[in-house]
A and B are shown apart, each in its own frame.
Chain A
Amino acid sequence: MEKFAIDNMNLYYGKFHALKNVNLHMEQNKITAFIGPSGCGKSTLLKSLNRMNDLVEGCKITGEIKLDGEDIYGNMDVNILRKRVGMVFQKANPFPMSVYDNIAFGPRTHGIKNKKELDRIVEESLRDAAIWDELKDRLKKSALGLSGGQQQRLCIARALAIKPEVLLMDEATSALDPISTGKIEELCLKLKDNYTIIMVTHNMQQALRISDNTAFFLLGEMVEYNSTDAIFSAPQDKRTEEYITGRFG
């Protein structure tokens, strides 16, 4: 089933044409990976999906992006959109507060005040992010004291706590060691049963390991989009082939 549909989408930063006529339909309960060299627009596209690009001055978008058939740049409330489409950033960004309050921030934002309910959500989210056992005795401790890998999984738990439908991951493992990366990849494979995951990655091995579909971007253009197996075994476009065989990028 189709979750996100991007049609004839162009994005400009002022005069700079950052994304050129992108057409991309992403499926539910799948992991879609965006790959491509730095500056190709893949992160920009990801940030358009929960409208974090609204923060960038001079950013203009034409075309359509639909979530379950509904135009996200139309009448949809941006705060509701971001509740439905959660995001994990490249650099782990836990709030400077306790582990518990970090997870409870989202639910509280959306009106949940009941302590029992919050306790339940915190435990469930941490379990879903496979970090409950490590943190259950440290719920009241500052989240800034955690290791980098733990912080990133905490951020995933924080995003899961608002029950999103889609999880965007912007190079979420690029600052982590291989063991933490492995844990998060494992987590993604588990999470796709319940969530749709869209990830930007610099690491082609990672895309190959966990994604179902892959889109390759170059200079603001989406060059090729196909199942991950097809992209890596039989790329249709010469530029895709050159990139995945390491001839540039």
Chain B
Amino acid sequence: MRLSRFRERAMQGVFFLTAITSIAAVVIICIFLFCNGVPAMAEIGFFDFVGGQKWAPTNVPASYGIFNMIIASIYVTAGAIVIGVPIGILTAVFLARFCPAPLYKILKPATELLAGIPSIVYGFFGLMVIVPFIRENFGGNGSSWLAASIVLGIMILPTIIGVSESAIRAVPESYYEGALALGATKERSVFKTILPASKSGVLAGVVLGIGRALGETMAVVLIAGNQVQIPNALTDGLRTLTANIVLEMGYSTGLHRQALIATGVVLFVFILLITLSMQAIKSRSEKNG
């Protein structure tokens, strides 16, 4: 009796420790980022840092403006949404409601495999296939906003498909039957009753995908061109916040290094906003039943 109680206590301790570990990781990352990043922002000046258009950390005097890269990150993510969201949602609809069982057995693992491919491989694929394709068909040198958006659009597919598909499957069958019984076609029943009913879950998938696109680094570095500029055309190159960090972290020192960490802070705030909006979507959908 006493032994089993001791065991229970011990296991409780283990669970508590494991839970604390992940929370501690988040807290420590926060502390690290803000302790290193915020002083740099203060030194550069918050508005000069976030709103400055000139990034020249090795000049004398140096400039640390990341505005162009903030815009670039937003542009690339927006492009990925335009490409990935329609394909992802329609694929999820197909998998959940239209796919014949034998085909599903192939398609479902295939979309899951997409999630397992390392991002560097996506980068290589972009570099070898998409960049030359853009260079030959649309001009420019190929490494561009468009190339990055296409690859990111593909990379966010598994997230959007997976989350959306389970959201669509969670919709009560009675909506579908109700629509059919009114003489609606299968397509109309799915798109006018099931999909709208699953919209908060689908939206959650999209938001998760946005988070992934915003944070993606390796693939983007290889194919985006990395010029610090606001692109005027889809074929222009750009440099995202993540690319900026990974490109310069290796050789930076002093304020330059701190400015890169501060770039990480800005990225972190973006991700935080996305996570919060996701929580808001979730709690709203729970309220609506």
A83 to B185, CA, bound (A): 11
**Contact present for B180 and A52 (CB under 8 Å):** yes
**Contact present for A144 and B182 (CB under 8 Å):** no
Most chain A beta carbons < 10 A, residue from B175, B178, B197:
B178
Looking at the assembled complex, report how far the CB atom of B105 sits from the nearest CB atom of chain A, in whole angstroms. Answer: 17
- Contacts A93-B174, A95-B175, A95-B178 given; does A110 touch B289 at CB 8 Å: no
Task: Find chain A residues with CB under 8 A from B184 CB.
Answer: 79, 105-106, 109
**Contact present for A96 and B177 (CB under 8 Å):** no
Task: Find chain A residues with CB under 8 A from B63 CB.
Answer: none
B192 interfacial by beta-carbon distance below 8 Å = yes
Task: Find chain A residues with CB under 8 A from B179 CB.
Answer: 95, 105, 109
- B14-28 near A? 1/0 per residue, CB < 8 Å: 000000000000000
A109 to B184, CA, bound (A): 6
Task: Find chain B residues with CB under 8 A from A83 CB.
Answer: 182-183
Task: Find chain B residues with CB under 8 A from A144 CB.
Answer: 288-289
B3 interfacial by beta-carbon distance below 8 Å = no
Task: Find chain A residues with CB under 8 A from B174 CB.
Answer: 89, 91, 93
A50 interfacial by beta-carbon distance below 8 Å = yes
A165 to B180, CA, bound (A): 17
B45 interfacial by beta-carbon distance below 8 Å = no
B60 interfacial by beta-carbon distance below 8 Å = no
Interface size, A (range): 20 to 34
Looking at the assembled complex, report how far the CB atom of A165 sits from the nearest CB atom of chain B, in whole angstroms. Answer: 12
A55 to B174, CA, bound (A): 12
A41 interfacial by beta-carbon distance below 8 Å = no
**Contact present for B177 and A52 (CB under 8 Å):** yes
Who on chain A is nearest to B176 by CB?
A: A55
**Contact present for B183 and A110 (CB under 8 Å):** yes
- Contacts A93-B172, A96-B197, A97-B196 given; does A106 touch B182 at CB 8 Å: yes
Task: Find chain B residues with CB under 8 A from A86 CB.
Answer: 181-182
A94 to B174, CA, bound (A): 9
A42 interfacial by beta-carbon distance below 8 Å = no
**Contact present for B182 and A105 (CB under 8 Å):** yes
**Contact present for B175 and A96 (CB under 8 Å):** yes
- Which of A93, A97, A106, A155 meets B183, CB within 8 Å? A106
B275 interfacial by beta-carbon distance below 8 Å = no
Most chain A beta carbons < 10 A, residue from B179, B180, B193:
B180
B284 interfacial by beta-carbon distance below 8 Å = no
Given contacts A79-B184, A82-B181, A89-B178, 18 further A-B contacts (CB under 8 A): A52-B177, A52-B180, A55-B177, A79-B183, A79-B185, A91-B174, A93-B175, A95-B175, A95-B178, A95-B179, A95-B193, A109-B182, A109-B183, A109-B192, A144-B289, A158-B178, A158-B182, A159-B181
Query: Which residues from chain A sit less than 8 Å from chain B, CB to CB?
Result: 50, 52, 55, 79-83, 86-87, 89, 91, 93-97, 105-106, 109-110, 142, 144, 155, 158-159, 162
A sample of 23 cross-chain residue pairs with beta-carbon separation below 8 angstroms, ordered by A number, consists of A52-B180, A52-B181, A79-B185, A81-B183, A82-B183, A83-B182, A83-B183, A86-B182, A89-B177, A91-B174, A93-B172, A93-B178, A95-B175, A95-B178, A95-B179, A96-B175, A96-B197, A105-B184, A105-B193, A109-B182, A109-B183, A155-B178, A159-B181
5 closest residue pairs by CB, A with B: A83-B183, A93-B174, A106-B182, A82-B183, A87-B181
